[in-house]
Structures are given as C-alpha cells and as structure tokens.
Structure 1
Amino acid sequence: MGLVLANEYVSSTKGGGVMADISSTTGPYRKAVRRFAAEQVLPYYRDWRAAGAPPRDLWLNAAQSGLLETSVPAAAALAEETGRAGVDLAMLLAHSAIAVPLILRAGDNALQHRWSSALVSGRLVAAAVRPYRSATQDAQACTARAVPDGRRYIVYGQGGLTCPGSDPDLFIVPAYTGRNADPAGLRLFAVEAAAARVGRRRLRLENCGWDSIEVSFDDVVVPAGNVLAEGARAAVELANSAMREAVWAAHASAGAAAEALRRLSSTRPVTATAEQARLRGDVGDAATQLAQAAHALADDPLPVAEARHLHDLCSRIRQHLDSRLAGVTPRSA
C-alpha cells in the first residue's frame, strides 16, 4: 500500500515521497466523498454539532452514496477528503472500517446472516466500545467482565465509551472472563444495544465536538455465538483498531493541512515567501511520513506512538497554516 494523499500537494513539495498508484484507484471514491460532504453534510453540519451527533440518515445516505467501504485505502481517502472539507465523520469509519469488518470476518454464520445486510446498508450502526482510560484500546484497561454460562455469557460492569458522534445499535465490547486481566480470558463480544439491562448515557468529553455514549452492563445475556475474538487475537484486534483510528486521524489532519496550503497558494502575494516555502516543505514531510505509515500498516501493525506523532505533526502544520492565513484576502479570479 502506498500514499493516499492527493497528488497535487505531495508532488509540489519534495517529489512525492513514497508514491504508488493507490490515489488513482480511490479517485472516483474521493469524488463521491467530496460530493457527499458538499451536498449532504456541510449544509447541516453546524446543527449536527450543536445536537451532539449526526442523524441516523447519515449512515443510510453514506451507504447509498457508496461510502461505507471497509478497505484501508477507502478509509484513508474518506478521512482526508472530509478533513479537507472541515468536517469530522470519524463515526462513519468507526462503523464501516472497524466494526463491520470485524463482525463479517469473525462472526459465525448465523450472526452474519442476521446482521450483514443491515450493516452494509447503514440500517444498522455498529461501533467499538473503548475502555476507560484507554485512548489506545489497551486491553489492560478493560473493566467489563463476562461469566460463561453454558452457551451464553453474562456480561457485567462498565464497558467504556463509543466513538464520538456514534450512537450505535451494536456494540463491540471487550471483556475478561475472569476477575484478573488474564490475556487468555479476553473476549470481544457483539452486544445489541437494545438488549435488556444495557445501560447507555450520553455525555460530551472535554475538547470534543461530538457526544459519546457511555455503556454499562448489568448481567446482560450474550449468546456464545456473539464472541468475535478470544485471547491474543482479541488483544490484536483491539490494538489494530486503535492504530487505524490514529492513522485515519492523521490523514484527516493532513487533508485539512492540504486545504490550508491550497488556500495559502491562492492568496496574495502570488510569489511564495520564504515562510510559505518552508510551510510547503513541512506539509511535504508530513505527506511522506503518512505514506510510510500507510505502507507499514498494510503489512504490519503501525505502532500507536508513531501514529500519534503523525497526528500531532499534521495538527501543528494545520494550526500554523491557519494562523498564517488569518486576515489574508483571497486573490481575485
């Protein structure tokens, strides 16, 4: 896998870094994302933010527009293009690129038959529950417990928080089958939000523009067929989902930085100053690092620390560009 960032600002800096033809394969998808953002998100985005979450139609409309792709390239493209548009739709990625692939890959035949069509069409929304105190989906932070009971489990305790902006019908929940955090006892469960004794509380975290759902379980009965992963595999799935979230956040920041750079290039004076040239170089460096991260992610899990670094780097570039653009009059056509 290679770079998913837009060619126009990568090639204008330092030769494009690690380039591949993945941009061309996501070209039509990118256009669909841009059209979707312009027509079905931006006109309502301010109201959605005030409400704390987008309407359920967002998932249905995204599916009808062909945007609920499960591949890594498509997810990165969606993150970049929505970052360019200045909107945060991470809740779509939490559904289509993390929860749905896990259910379709690991769920048993009965579970897939019951949910696959609704998940792919956006009629059913799924999201992972992140343990408390764990921005990285650390399995050791899981506090929910699951007691085996024949062909079912009894799940209890605090589950954690959903992706901001997502109020799903289906939770992917990590829980241990013992009192201690023994890796062999870790399980990933698919739990229906409408199940009896599932607690849900909406809250907004500090510095977050969307509401999250705090999930708890009071002896919730979960069929054994709803176990998606066990032991070491469950821990890997948790870590991989966090890595992908971090990489997509970096792509979104890079998309926002690219848009700021485009605006910078269209302002007076036309001749780039030394500062503008330096900013171009910074964005080029970020693009190259994202290319390397994307390449590594295709073959081997990307270290969370590296993904965080990329996200922070792109965020700093975006802030710097925005500060440079403040009060600048766009060049007339």
Structure 2
Amino acid sequence: MPAASLRLHFEPDHEEFRTGVRRFFQQEIAPHVERWREQGHVDRSAFTQAGALGYLLTWAGEQYGGAGIDDLRYEQILVEECVRHADVGIYFNLHSTVVAPYIAEIGNEEQRQRFLPKAISGEHILAIAMTEPGAGSDLAGMRTQAKPTADGSGWVLNGAKTYISNGTQADVVVVAARTSTESKHAIGLFVVEAGMPGFTRGRKLKKMGLPAQDTAELFFDHVVVPAANVLGDPTQGFAHMARLLAKERLSLAMTSLAHAQTAFDLTLDYIKERQAFGQAIGAFQNSRFVMAGLRAELDATQCFVDQCVLLANAGRLDADTGAKAKLLATDLEGKVIDACLQLHGGAGYMDEYRISRMYTDARVSRIFAGSNEIMKEIIGRGLGLYGRRR
C-alpha cells in the first residue's frame, strides 16, 4: 500500500474501523476463499456475517437497521481489506455501493423500508441486471421490455439479461427495461424478487477469472411486476443509471486499485527473496526500474481516486470524473499485474501463486461497468468533442 502520509483523507476513526475489518477478512473470509473459487460462488453465510458486523450498506440510515454513516471512505476500506486479505471476486461492494443505492435514492420510503433492512443484514443478496446478449456498454440498445398490465396495476416484463454478477444467488434484482418503443431512452427500473412467476435463472457462466463470483443469465417471461416494485418514474431509468453509474465506476476504481496495490506488494516481497544468478531478482536494474515506475503510478492514481471519494461524499462526483477514475485505475491494474507476473517468471504462470489468479481476475475490469473505450467517449464528450452522428 502507499505510504500513509500520501493518504490524508483518512481520519483516526477510519483507521480504527480498518483494524476490525482487516481482522474479519483475515479470520472469517480468507480461510474459505479457495473453496469458494472452486464451487463458483461465495457462501450466503458470508453476507450474513458481514451484515451482523455492520459491514453492508454502511451508509444506510438507522431506521432501516444501518449504521447511518454516509461516508464512502468506510466502503473504500472494506473494498481494500477484502481484496488484500480475501479475494477480489467477493462482491460485497456490488451489493452495498452499486445496487442498494438505486433503491435508496430512487425508491420511495415504502420500498426502502421493504428492501433495505434485509440487504443490510445480509439475508437478501442484491444484483442489478442491465447487460443483455446484444447490449453491453450501449444501454440504449437494450431489448428487454416492460409494458403496463391491462388493469394498470403493474408491468409485464419480458427479455433476458446476461453476465449478471450475484446472479445465481440474488434475492432482489433491479432490472432495467425499455418502457416505450418511441424513445430509446425511455427505460424503467423494476425490482424483481426471487420466486416471481416467469423469473428464471439460466446457467452459471464459466469465466476466465473471478471464479468465486457467481455470474449468470437471467430470463423474464411475462413476469408481472407490481407498481409497488417500480423505482421512480418508469421512463426516467436512463437518467437515473447515468447518474448512479458514476459512483459505480468509482467503486470499481477503488477495487481495481486495491487489486493492483496488492499485486505490487506481493511481488515486492517475492523479488526480494527469489534468487537468480547469485542475487535477488529485485537487485537487477530492470526489476528496480519496473517497480519504481509502478510505485509512482500507483501513488499518483491513488491520490486521484481518494480525491474522487471525497467528491462523492460532497455530492460532486460527476459522470466525467467517475469515468476518469475507472479508466485510469483499471488500465493501471492490468499494467501492474502483467508486470508483476513477469517478475515472478515461470512461477507467475502457476495457479499456486496468487499473482497468476490475479492476472485472469483483473482482465474484466476494463470491460464491465462500461468498457474503457466508452469511458474515453464520456470524457471526450465532456470536453465538447463529438463523433459523427448517424
């Protein structure tokens, strides 16, 4: 990790919180990681354990059973300690900082009272379903549709989603669906609950990395969603997603950077001990120069991401800045872990070394939550630069 002197945004209360979080991940989560990676999902008990300690939805109000600490730095600490001491594929952060805010910020009070308490306790696992087989980063291209019921009491949902994280275990899924054929931006957000007729899960998808993260296909065949399960205006989901995706991308930036920091530290220890030609690998000029360059980039990016966290706390994180954080952190994650694997030599290609697993786990970061090419489009448009319109 970077020197504490470079991270002035943490206060004593945060560091005290980190001590307890670190102990939780070291003692209660880390011993199960290998089994979870083999079985393809995290045990549900991990969520309830985290919930019992107040580690889920730390920002949620006390009236829902939360701690009421609306400070993203606490979630940042949870991400960093989870990645360092457990596994990057344990998606407490998706549950807490990506999905739950849709309910809290767009939903009404009845919906918050109904869905948040069990998410806070870990009894219910949350997921969000945006991506489709033919529509990934281009949300306006989605085909899943929702039409009003004949009596106007709800909506009928039809379509399919894919690459859905927490997909096989989720009890509550926020589903994005088109609500008008006249406007590609008329999208609604619907809360689909496990057990609703017509809602089924397809196969658990096999992936290059992140085996502990259950990723699935979801199908909706004439699922009747009551009006009480619609989040906000059913035509304004696109605007809601655009706003909340900034914080989702920052959450991913925090995770990717923690992953890269961990890879760096593992490699630094390795090259100090591993011998070649009668000296430690770290003593060679190439090793020193590679690690020095990575250290500088990690520290600089960490400073930017930490500043973004403070912007989010102040309600000033915009789409452009969230895209910048995601672009920089995920690109750097790939660069760092690739270089660290190279410094491990042949050992880095063996799965018994964590760096091998980290390499494949990291590759998706530049793709999900909007590909990095899309991040560049968002940043470019923020500069007033637009491509040719078709």
Deviation at 1:23, TM superposition (A): 6.0
Question: Are residues 1:304 and 2:306 paired?
Answer: no
Structure with bigger RCO (C-alpha 8 Å, 6+ apart): 1
Q: Which residue of 2 aligns with 1:244?
A: 250
Q: Which residue of 2 aligns with 1:104?
A: 104
Aligned 1:209-220 pairs, distance under 5 A: 209=211, 210-220=213-223
Q: 1:241 to 1:52 in 2, by over 3 A?
A: farther
Q: 1:154 to 1:74 in 2, by over 3 A?
A: same
Q: Which residue of 1 aligns with 2:146?
A: 146
Q: Secondary structure at the match of 1:162?
A: strand
Q: Which residue of 1 aligns with 2:192?
A: 191
Question: Higher mean Cα deviation, 262-271 or 135-144?
Answer: 262-271
Aligned 1:164-243 pairs, distance under 5 A: 167-179=169-181, 182-183=184-185, 185-208=186-209, 209=211, 210-230=213-233, 231=236, 232-237=238-243, 239-240=245-246, 242-243=248-249
Output the CA distance in 1 between the equivalents of 2:136 and 2:303: 22
Deviation at 1:155, TM superposition (A): 0.9
Aligned 1:78-157 pairs, distance under 5 A: 78-85=78-85, 87-132=87-132, 138-149=138-149, 150-157=152-159
Output the CA distance in 1 between the equivalents of 2:330 and 2:51: 27
Q: Secondary structure at the match of 1:178?
A: coil
Output the CA distance in 2 between the equivalents of 1:105 and 1:303: 18
Output the CA distance in 1 between the equivalents of 2:125 and 2:146: 23
Q: Which residue of 2 aligns with 1:289?
A: 301
Deviations 1:100-131 (A, max 9, x none): 22212222222222222211111111111131
Instruction: Give the unaligned 5+ runs of structure 2.
Output: 60-70, 275-279, 349-390
Q: Which amino acid aligns with 2:307?
A: H
Output the CA distance in 1 between the equivalents of 2:215 and 2:125: 14
**Aligned residue among 46, 49, 71 for 1:58:** 46
Q: Which residue of 1 aligns with 2:160?
A: 158
Is the CA contact 2:129–2:174 (under 8 Å) kept in the aligned structure 1?
yes
Q: 1:291 to 1:82 in 2, by over 3 A?
A: same
Output the CA distance in 2 between the equivalents of 1:259 and 1:134: 39
Percent sequence identity over aligned pairs: 22
Output the CA distance in 2 between the equivalents of 1:246 and 1:134: 23
Output the CA distance in 1 between the equivalents of 2:200 and 2:86: 33
Q: Secondary structure at the match of 2:165?
A: coil
Deviation at 1:178, TM superposition (A): 1.8
Question: Are residues 1:21 and 2:21 paired?
Answer: no
Deviations 1:6-47 (A, max 9, x none): 443x75xxxx3xx43326443233223321222122211111
Question: Higher mean Cα deviation, 126-135 or 116-125?
Answer: 126-135
RMSD: 3.0
Q: Which amino acid aligns with 1:235?
A: M
Instruction: Give the unaligned 5+ runs of structure 1.
Output: 1-5, 329-333
Output the CA distance in 2 between the equivalents of 1:272 and 1:29: 37
Is the CA contact 2:144–2:159 (under 8 Å) kept in the aligned structure 1?
yes
Question: Higher mean Cα deviation, 232-241 or 139-148?
Answer: 232-241
The number of residue pairs the alignment matches comes to: 315
Question: Are residues 1:315 and 2:303 paired?
Answer: no
Question: Are residues 1:39 and 2:27 paired?
Answer: yes
TM-score by length of 1: 0.82
Q: Which residue of 2 aligns with 1:331?
A: none
Deviation at 1:270, TM superposition (A): 11
Q: Secondary structure at the match of 1:292?
A: helix
Q: 1:293 to 1:246 in 2, by over 3 A?
A: same
Is the CA contact 1:161–1:213 (under 8 Å) kept in the aligned structure 2?
yes
Output the CA distance in 2 between the equivalents of 1:162 and 1:245: 17
Deviation at 1:76, TM superposition (A): 2.5
Question: Higher mean Cα deviation, 252-261 or 171-180?
Answer: 252-261
